[in-house]
Amino acid sequence: MMTDKRVDIGLYIKSENLNLKQIAESGQCFRMNEICDGRYSLVAFGEYVELLQIEENEIRILGTSEDRRPQWEEYFDLHYDYGALVQKLSECGDEFLKRAAAFGSGLRILRQDPFEVLISFIISQNKNIPAIKSAIEKLCERFGEKKRWSENPDLVYYTFPSPESIAAAEKEDLRALGLGYRDEYVLGAARAVSEGRLDIHGLKSMDYEQIMEELMRLRGVGKKVANCVALFGFHKLRSAPVDVWIARVLDQVYEGRFSWESYGDHAGIVQQYMFYYIRNCSQS
């Protein structure tokens, strides 16, 4: 844990079930990176910040100010009671879920920018997390806006590109970034948003089924990617993406008999507990 010196720089936010390490390693955000134990960099809202875990349930955000508190409280979904779900799962008869929820009790579903999530998870297909992060950073360096951190002007970072910036590119420009066959999918999605064929912000008012239908009209967006965007970009908590890790859980732990419907609007959070737990069990 970092030591809390209580200087006047930055913003302190506090809530139960708030663990930066668990959030950063949950596969939902590709621009949150560990700097050292208990400290993470993050680019969001077009700005660079550094996040410090001060206490078990408190973090400090460097590079922002008190007037941005509502923005960051929403980003970390502080108004949702994750503790109630952890408690409920601790009392259920599912031993695997009991362990998973206890192990990842500091997880939260971040409220990220939908366009960034869409492009990021198109890129994520058939790549591991380090490769995904590398490809996204290259995309930002090529098409994003170059900025310097307010706390340290020597630190240069790049914002996530706008739909228009990516849409103006050629496929060869994207392929040079190592996106492989995903280049045309990224380009197609950016142009759909830029040209108004996909109203990415209008999707916020739609229900889960409508969002899935609209997203899957895009070439290169199947059920898994659409579910990731619905969950991490639009906070549709009944969305439960199934990747290779979750497929392993469903097959090996539940022998194909797990029902997401049983968890309703908690299914996406349950998925995150499963994902974080099984990945860490496999690595230990």
39, 52 in Cβ contact below 8 A? yes
d(CA 93, CA 238): 21
53, 1 in Cβ contact below 8 A? yes
Enumerate residues 6+ apart whose C-beta is below 8 A from 20. Answer: 32, 38, 40, 51, 52, 53, 59, 106
224 is catalytic: yes
d(CA 236, CA 273): 16
Q: What was the pLDDT predicted at 127?
A: 83
pTM of the model: 0.94
Which member of 5, 98, 224, 236 is catalytic? 224
Q: What was the pLDDT predicted at 4?
A: 45
What are the tokens at 132?
Answer: 């995904």
Name the CA radius of gyration of the chain, rounded: 19
Q: What was the pLDDT predicted at 180?
A: 87
Average pLDDT, 10 consecutive residues per value, the chain (284 residues): 52 97 96 96 97 96 95 97 96 95 97 98 90 96 96 96 97 90 96 97 96 97 97 97 95 95 96 96 73
- CA 163, 124, 146 angle in degrees (round to 5)? 45
Cβ count near 34 (within 10 Å): 14
Q: What was the pLDDT predicted at 85?
A: 97
Q: What was the pLDDT predicted at 15?
A: 96
Q: What was the pLDDT predicted at 1?
A: 44
Q: What was the pLDDT predicted at 178?
A: 87
d(CA 190, CA 116): 10
Domains of the chain: 11-79 (3.30.310.260), 114-232 (1.10.340.30), 244-283 (no CATH)
Q: What was the pLDDT predicted at 5?
A: 45
Q: What was the pLDDT predicted at 2?
A: 46
How does 84-99 read in b/e, with b if 16+ C-beta sit within 10 Å? ebbeebeeeeeebbbe
Three-class secondary structure assignment of the chain: CCCCCCCCCCEEEECCCCCHHHHHCCCCCCCEEEEECCEEEEEECCEEEEEEEEECCEEEEECCCHHHHHHHHHHCCCCCCHHHHHHHHHCCCCHHHHHHHHHCCCCCCCCCCHHHHHHHHHHCCCCCHHHHHHHHHHHHHHHCCEEEECCEEEEEEECCCCHHHHHCCCHHHHHCCCCCCHHHHHHHHHHHHHCCCCCCCHHHHCCHHHHHHHHCCCCCCCHHHHHHHHHHCCCCCCCCCCCHHHHHHHHHHCCCCCCHHHHHHHHHHHHHHHHHHHHHHHHC
